[in-house]
């Protein structure tokens, strides 16, 4: 047995994705955002989360999917990577599961249109359930984060 890794499962465009629980700060409902000029389209703006100004990106837009209407299931997953907190808009956040690290395969070059560099791997949960694990460092890629950091000044 490999180690167990706890991941939060969320849905995006009818696929299931996961991020490690320890990178997730909180999961919030949708809320009004302040738009920020001169940012990429997928940067939806900033929210004030308990006194912290947090940039929010739409993961669908980040991966080049068609963006969709937000519903009451839409969530903002607040993740922390390298001292930066960013909110990721997802279609819904479903549950927390344990993934055996032995069951994580390297991602193929492209999964559902997402480049492999954004992915940490594909986890096999049971016979017919695959979970795409995100590589948050790349999803929140440095050059874009630099833009986001400028927002806060």
Confidence of residue 34 (pLDDT cuts 50, 70, 90): very high
Confidence of residue 22 (pLDDT cuts 50, 70, 90): very high
pLDDT higher than threshold 90 for residue 146: no
User: What's the first-to-final CA gap in the chain, in angstroms?
Assistant: 47
Confidence of residue 56 (pLDDT cuts 50, 70, 90): very high
Higher-confidence position of 144 and 109: 109
Q: Produce one character per residue of 38-66: b if its CB has 16 or more CB atoms within 10 Å, e if not.
A: ebeebbbbbbebeeeebbbbbbbbbbebe
Mean pLDDT score, 86-99? 94
Architecture of domain 4-151: Beta Barrel (2.40)
Highest-confidence segment of 35-49, 112-126, 137-151? 35-49
Mean pLDDT score, 52-65? 90
Instruction: Report the percent of the chain where pLDDT is more than 70.
Output: 88
pLDDT higher than threshold 90 for residue 31: yes
Question: pLDDT of 111-123, one tens digit each?
Answer: 666 677 888 899 9
- Boundaries of every domain in the chain: 4-151
């Amino acid at each position: 047995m490999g180690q167990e890794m706890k991941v939060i499962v969320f849905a995006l465009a009818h696929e299931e994705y996961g991020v490690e629980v320890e990178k997730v700060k909180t999961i919030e409902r949708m809320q009004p955002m302040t738009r920020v000029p001169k940012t990429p389209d997928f940067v939806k703006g900033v929210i004030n989360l308990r006194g912290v100004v947090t940039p929010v990106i739409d993961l669908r837009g980040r991966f080049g999917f068609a963006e969709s209407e937000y519903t009451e299931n839409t969530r903002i997953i607040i993740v922390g990577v390298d001292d930066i907190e960013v909110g990721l808009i997802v279609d819904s956040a479903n549950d927390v599961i344990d993934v055996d690290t032995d069951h994580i395969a390297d991602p193929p070059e492209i999964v559902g249109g997402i480049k492999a560099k954004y992915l940490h791997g594909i986890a096999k949960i049971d016979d017919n359930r695959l979970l795409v694990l995100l590589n948050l460092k790349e999803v929140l890629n440095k050059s874009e984060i630099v833009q986001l950091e400028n927002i806060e000044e």
